[in-house]
């Protein structure tokens, strides 16, 4: 009789998907991105709150963004777990090489045609499994995927100020109320700093150090807010970024790149995006492919790739959108097309192997270890970690949970086998489709069925 009651109780809990024990309440996830936060920005300025976070949670030495190291492509890799060639958000600038349309970064944020290329971001995958999600200014959160929108999405105005500390705190207050009063399960929150200051002033400046102090205060405020809203035991937080920043080399210290010196862009190229940091793309005019490639090959301080010869480690060559020629400047050189009109003192878009392009990863909350220093990893592996924390079946992705699961507390049951069939390094290319997260707290249907079958046997007895 006692056994029967136990089985009934267990079967009911499994069928309703409630936690197996009160000690393991349902957890929520907040993903925060501070755009352009280079991996070492906390090392030349006092950051008491970030320091405390390392004690209370997980800090990676650094993480590597995908090629190409720009805001939209990198953020979309984090939220999809897919390489840029698969999700095909291949620049910050939305473009059409045939019509010569070019739409700057902030104007793409409500354009589904730019983001919805058949890959589902985490919000939609989570929503399809019953979770409630929101995006607060996060790139890609403001559009629809296969006609499906994020439950709640706030999109930045084009002229939105990036550095308003009061607004930063208000945004945190709003997100906390979404979790505590409206029971959202996943929120992604984006801040445009320290990227803006890094571009305008350069990464090695007092202004950049000031904005890091401001971010540090904001993290202190975030932790107070989590406490105030009673979310300490239920909210996991990941803080990361999309790329680093490097100082742009200027005359007279170097001879800056002016591409028109080496090839006549008007006669050799029908489409180009240049004058945009260290990464450029170009469509040669018909019959001019070899001439354009040879001319660029002779230009100093850059590397030109034919699309089909792009190194596999870039994970760019399969992109449908990418034009036939890709140009990557040496670290610190800007790709000026015709004149030097470029005012940025810092920039990104350079090779993701450069240390200046590396970025940050921090995490804390009920499922993360404390005082845990993680080895460097590729940002693509954040996606399966987020699926694990949310207990959802991941969509096909290129990441590997094996890379990040050591950050989690051992009390968390692990999957019996590593779900990915790909390598566990940053070069993983094989898609992972699951299984889901090892039944962390939710029972699988098969367990419920087994218990029900056992129950019927005992009832008959
Ligand atoms: Zn930027």
Q: Are 443 and 366 in a shared domain?
A: no
Q: Are 306 and 425 in a shared domain?
A: no
Q: How far does residue 196's CA lie from ligand 1's centre (Å)?
A: 7
Q: Are 298 and 419 in a shared domain?
A: no
pLDDT of residue 154 exceeding 70, the answer is: yes
- 445 within domain boundaries: yes
pLDDT higher for 23 or 84? 84
CA distances from 247 to 44, 93, 325 (A): 16, 22, 25
Residue 25: what pLDDT? 66
Q: How far does residue 10's CA lie from ligand 1's centre (Å)?
A: 52
pLDDT tens track for 158-215: 889 999 999 999 999 999 999 999 999 999 999 999 999 999 999 999 999 999 999 9
- For the chain, give the percent of residues with pLDDT over 70: 84
- What residues are neighbours of ligand 1 (ion), with CB under 5 Å? 195
Q: Are 113 and 151 in a shared domain?
A: yes
Stretch 369-389: mean pLDDT, rounded?
98
CATH number at residue 193: 3.40.720.10
Domain tally for the chain?
3
DSSP structure class, residue 383? H
Instruction: Return the beta strands (E) in 246-309 as ranges.
Output: 246-247, 257-258, 269-273, 279-284, 302-306
* Residue 270 binned pLDDT confidence (cut-offs 50, 70, 90): very high
Q: Are 204 and 277 in a shared domain?
A: no
Q: What are the structure tokens assigned to 106, written together?
A: 């902030």
Residue 177: what pLDDT? 98
pTM: 0.86
Stretch 64-93: mean pLDDT, rounded?
97
Q: How far apart are CA 27 and CA 255, in angstroms?
A: 54
Q: How far apart are CA 374 and CA 120, in angstroms?
A: 28
pLDDT tens track for 416-426: 444 443 333 33
Residue 13: what pLDDT? 31
Stretch 65-83: mean pLDDT, rounded?
97
Peptide bond into 396 cis (omega under 30): no
Can you spell out the DSSP letters for 158-205?
TT--S--HHHHHHHHHHHHHHHHHH--SEEEEEE-TTHHHHHHH-SSS
- 159 within domain boundaries: yes
Among 343, 375, 399, give the residue marking a domain's end: 343
Q: What are the structure tokens assigned to 397, written together?
A: 């992705």
Q: Which residue range forms the structural domain that includes residue 449?
A: 2-9+437-460
Q: How far apart are CA 211 and CA 95, in angstroms?
A: 32
Can you spell out the DSSP letters for 298-354?
TSTTEEEEEGGGS-GGG--TT-SSS-SEEEEEPTT--EESSS-----SEE--S-TTS
Q: Are 39 and 181 in a shared domain?
A: yes
| Sign of the torsion formed by the C-alpha atoms of 295, 300, 302 and 308 | positive
Q: Are 378 and 293 in a shared domain?
A: no
Catalytic hit among 10, 71, 133, 359: 71
* Residue 342 binned pLDDT confidence (cut-offs 50, 70, 90): confident
Q: What are the structure tokens assigned to 303, written together?
A: 């590397």
* Residue 431 binned pLDDT confidence (cut-offs 50, 70, 90): low
Q: What average pLDDT does the structure give for the chain? A: 87
| Structural contact between residues 88 and 320, judged by C-beta atoms closer than 8 angstroms | yes
Q: How far apart are CA 361 and CA 383, in angstroms?
A: 13
pLDDT of residue 323 exceeding 90, the answer is: yes
Q: Are 57 and 149 in a shared domain?
A: yes
Q: Are 425 and 445 in a shared domain?
A: no
- 379 within domain boundaries: yes
Strands 361-364 and 346-347: unpaired
Strands 361-364 and 28-34: unpaired
Stretch 259-267: mean pLDDT, rounded?
95
Q: How far does residue 277's CA lie from ligand 1's centre (Å)?
A: 9
Q: How far does residue 90's CA lie from ligand 1's centre (Å)?
A: 15
Stretch 38-61: mean pLDDT, rounded?
98
Q: How far does residue 24's CA lie from ligand 1's centre (Å)?
A: 40
Annotation says 71 is catalytic: yes
End-to-end CA distance of the chain: 10
Q: Is 252 exposed, middle or buried (0-12, 13-18, 19+ CB in 10 A)?
A: exposed
* Residue 427 binned pLDDT confidence (cut-offs 50, 70, 90): very low
Tell which residue, 292, 321, 286, has the closest CA to residue 306.
Answer: 292
Q: What are the structure tokens assigned to 246, written together?
A: 């490097």
Stretch 363-387: mean pLDDT, rounded?
98
- 351 within domain boundaries: no
- 309 within domain boundaries: yes
Q: Are 108 and 147 in a shared domain?
A: yes
Among 308, 343, 378, give the residue marking a domain's end: 343
CATH number at residue 302: 3.30.1360.180
Residue 26: what pLDDT? 82
Q: Are 71 and 119 in a shared domain?
A: yes
- 228 within domain boundaries: yes
- 251 within domain boundaries: no
Residue 11: what pLDDT? 32
Stretch 342-369: mean pLDDT, rounded?
97
Q: How far apart are CA 214 and CA 209, in angstroms?
A: 9
Among 343, 366, 397, give the residue marking a domain's end: 343
Q: How far apart are CA 195 and CA 104, in angstroms?
A: 16
- 249 within domain boundaries: no
Q: Are 53 and 138 in a shared domain?
A: yes
């Amino acid at each position: 009789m006692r056994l029967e009651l136990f089985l009934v109780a267990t079967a009911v809990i499994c069928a309703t998907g409630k936690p197996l024990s009160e000690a393991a309440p349902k957890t929520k996830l907040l993903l925060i991105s501070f755009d352009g936060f280079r991996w070492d920005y906390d090392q030349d300025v006092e950051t008491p709150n970030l320091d405390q976070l390392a004690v209370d949670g997980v800090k990676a030495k650094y993480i590597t963004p995908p090629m190409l190291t720009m805001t939209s492509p990198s953020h979309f890799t984090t939220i999809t777990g897919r390489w840029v060639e698969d999700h095909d958000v291949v620049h910050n600038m939305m473009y059409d090489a045939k019509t010569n349309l070019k739409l700057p970064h902030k104007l793409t944020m409500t354009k589904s045609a730019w983001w919805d290329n058949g890959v589902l971001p985490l919000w939609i995958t989570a929503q399809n499994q019953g979770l409630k999600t929101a995006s607060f200014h996060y790139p890609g959160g403001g559009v629809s995927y296969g006609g499906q929108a994020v439950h709640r999405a706030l999109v930045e105005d084009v002229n939105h100020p990036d550095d308003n500390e009061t607004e930063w705190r208000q945004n945190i207050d709003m997100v906390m109320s979404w979790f505590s009063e409206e029971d959202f399960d996943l929120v992604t929150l984006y801040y445009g700093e320290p990227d803006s200051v890094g571009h305008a002033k350069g990464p090695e400046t007092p202004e950049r150090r000031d904005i890091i102090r401001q971010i540090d205060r904001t993290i202190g405020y975030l932790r107070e807010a989590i406490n105030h809203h009673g979310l300490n035991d239920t909210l996991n937080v990941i803080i990361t970024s999309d790329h680093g920043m490097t100082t742009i080399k200027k005359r007279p210290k170097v001879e800056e790149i002016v591409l028109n010196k080496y090839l006549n862009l008007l006669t050799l190229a029908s489409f180009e995006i240049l004058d945009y940091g260290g990464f450029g793309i170009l469509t040669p005019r018909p019959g001019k492919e070899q001439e354009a490639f040879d001319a660029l090959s002779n230009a100093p301080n850059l590397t030109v790739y034919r699309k089909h010869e792009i190194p596999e480690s870039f994970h760019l060559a399969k992109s449908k959108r990418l034009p036939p020629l890709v140009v990557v400047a040496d670290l610190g050189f800007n790709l000026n097309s015709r004149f030097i009109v470029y005012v940025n003192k810092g920039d990104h878009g350079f090779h993701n192997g450069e240390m200046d392009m590396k970025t940050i990863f921090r995490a804390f909350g009920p499922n993360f270890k404390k005082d845990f220093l993680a080895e460097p990893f590729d940002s693509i592996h954040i996606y399966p970690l987020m699926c694990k924390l949310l207990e959802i079946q991941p969509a096909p992705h290129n990441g590997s949970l094996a890379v990040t699961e050591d950050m989690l507390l051992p009390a968390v049951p692990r999957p019996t086998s590593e779900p990915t069939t790909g390598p566990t390094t940053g070069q993983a290319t094989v898609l992972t489709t699951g299984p889901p997260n090892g039944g962390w707290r939710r029972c699988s249907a098969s367990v419920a069925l087994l218990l029900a079958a056992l129950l019927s046997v005992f009832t008959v007895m």
